[in-house]
Chains A and B, each alone.
Chain A
């Protein structure tokens, strides 16, 4: 079946602009995660959605970052007033249940100029 998809694959934006990144998880997966991977760094957890529960936002680096998950499926990560340090690959993952293995999308490479 279809895996996790993300769009766009690449995004170049000017400093100060807002961006939206989209994630389509695997159908039926209840848990959805956003991570950030900077060059030469590991994965930094951003936010986690589980079913209809309130999301775990503990990893969001600032209030410029927010995310939604509509209808328990598609998720959008929004970064407002982008800064150069926001440049990274943003990865989305989903799992059937919390704690199960996560399946990752190909990522969105964000470059802030």
Chain B
């Protein structure tokens, strides 16, 4: 069965410092991996995705994520955090080898990122 784990409920970072939001996944085949961000009282916004190719994926707002097959991880990173990055971040996975019509993503429970000035 597909699953996604975000082991940290909250991550606190000082502005200007690098940030990492962790995500691990479990699928039976090859994964499609996604990161989404949810600002307060807003819907989810797509940040970036990994399908194939380079393990380092660059996305919106200066974020990037590294796909690590051996560790089944897809951690979200940013070299220098901004206060405006404070939001709820969701990792999601789809098993590319899943047959049938199912196309929905499995989401992690989310990690709250708090960036302090």
A interface residues with partner B (beta carbon < 8 Å): 4, 31, 33, 35, 41-43, 45, 48, 50, 53-54, 56, 58-59, 91, 93, 95, 97-99, 101-107
Contact = CB atoms under 8 A, between A and B. Distances in A.
B109 A48 contact: no
5 contacts: A41-B109, A42-B108, A45-B107, A56-B101, A102-B105
Contacts, number: 59
Interface of B: 32, 34, 36, 42-46, 49, 90, 94, 96, 101-110
A49 to B, nearest CB: 9
B45 A104 contact: yes
A102 B106 CA distance: 12
A111 to B, nearest CB: 15
A101 B104 contact: no
Interface centre among A41, A53, A56 (most CB of B within 10 A): A56
